[in-house]
Structure 1
Amino acid sequence: MNTSSAYRNNKSTRDTTQRRILVWDAPVRLFHWLFAACFAGAWLTAESEHWRLVHVALGYTAGGLVIFRLAWGLIGTKYARFSSFVRGPSYVGRYLVGILRGHPQRHVGHNPAGAAVIVAMLALACAVTVTGWAIFNDVGGNWLGEVHEALASIMLGLVGVHVAGVVVSSWLHRENLVGAMLSGYKFGQPEEGIKRAWRTVAAIVLASVLMFWWWQWQVAPAPMTPNAAATAHQTASEDAE
Structure 2
Amino acid sequence: MYPLAAPTTATTAPPVRARQRVIDDPMRMFHWLFAAAFTGAYLSADSEHFRLLHVTLGYILAGLFAFRLAYGLFGPPQARLARLRGRLASARDWLHGLRHDGTINRRQGQNLLMALAIATLLLLTPFLVLSGYAVWQEWGLGLAGVDEDWLEELHELAANACLAAVLGHLALLLGLSLLRGSNQALPMLTGQVEGTGPSPVKKPRRWLAALLFLATLAYAAWAWLQAPHGLVPALSALSSHVTFL
Name the TM-score, length of structure 2 as normaliser: 0.75
Q: Counterparts of 1:38-49 in structure 2 under 5 Å?
A: 38-49=37-48
Q: Counterparts of 1:90-169 in structure 2 under 5 Å?
A: 91-92=90-91, 103-105=105-107, 111-141=111-141, 142=148, 143-169=150-176
The amino acid that maps onto 2:68 is: R
**Runs of 4+ with deviation above 6 angstroms:** none
CA contact (8 A) 1:79 1:85 kept: no
SS in 2 for 1:21: strand
The amino acid that maps onto 2:106 is: P
Unaligned runs of 5+ in 1: 1-15, 226-241
Structure (1 or 2) with the larger CA radius of gyration: 2
CA contact (8 A) 2:88 2:115 kept: no
Supply the distance in 2 between the matched residues of 1:119 and 1:219 (Cα, whole angstroms).
Answer: 35
Unaligned runs of 5+ in 2: 1-14, 142-147, 234-245
Deviates more, 1:163-172 or 1:178-187: 163-172
Supply the distance in 2 between the matched residues of 1:89 and 1:46 (Cα, whole angstroms).
Answer: 32
Match of 1:70 in 2: 69
- Cα distance, 1:111–1:188 mapped onto 2, change above 3 Å: farther
- Cα distance, 1:212–1:118 mapped onto 2, change above 3 Å: same
How far the C-alpha of 1:179 sits from its partner, in A, is 1.4
Cα RMSD after superposing both structures: 2.8
Q: Counterparts of 1:1-241 in structure 2 under 5 Å?
A: 19-87=18-86, 91-92=90-91, 103-105=105-107, 111-141=111-141, 142=148, 143-222=150-229
CA deviation map 1:160-182 (0-9, x unaligned): 11001111222233331211100
Number of equivalences: 205
How far the C-alpha of 1:106 sits from its partner, in A, is 6.4
CA deviation map 1:35-55 (0-9, x unaligned): 111111011100000000000
SS in 2 for 1:112: helix
CA contact (8 A) 2:78 2:200 kept: no
CA contact (8 A) 1:85 1:111 kept: no
Match of 1:12 in 2: none
Supply the distance in 2 between the matched residues of 1:126 and 1:210 (Cα, whole angstroms).
Answer: 22
Deviates more, 1:38-47 or 1:83-92: 83-92
Supply the distance in 1 between the matched residues of 2:73 and 2:177 (Cα, whole angstroms).
Answer: 27
